[in-house]
Structure 1
Amino acid sequence: MKKTKRAWAALLLGLGVWLSGCAPVAPWERGRLAKPHMALEPHPALGALRAHTYMSREAALAGGTAAGGGCGCY
């Protein structure tokens, strides 16, 4: 019984610590990270075009993350 209470207490403490780190960050608080050249994909339209081209070329192999192939295989 004592171990169960300790396990629950540890779980609740861990959950509280984990949830306290979830806070919205306003754009003016981001500093340099809010600038366009710091984005993971600096040119989203070009990235989408490349992904579309890759998916259409690799349709028989299910592209990148699709569930099935373009030819009906897999």
Structure 2
Amino acid sequence: MMRHRLALLVAGLVAVLSSGCSSLYAPPQAWEKGNLSKPEMTMGGDPLDARFTQHINGSKEGSSGGYGVGGGGCGCN
């Protein structure tokens, strides 16, 4: 009897917690879009950090480059 109540309680908690995530999502409002356009919100917001990461990759892997656009569409990079 106690196991059934515990299983029912756990199932109820899982259902409540998993349904709560979808109701919290909303697209950004107009006044919030200014914050999203700041340079620090981009994936490569800090150019110094990007250069440092490229230096680490070059030092560890012994390779460099490959960060720009390659080839002209002919398949020969």
TM-score, L = length of structure 2? 0.48
Q: Comparing both chains, which one has the higher relative contact order based on Cα–Cα distances under 8 Å and sequence gaps of 6 or more?
A: 1
TM-score, L = length of structure 1? 0.49
Q: Which has the larger radius of gyration?
A: 2
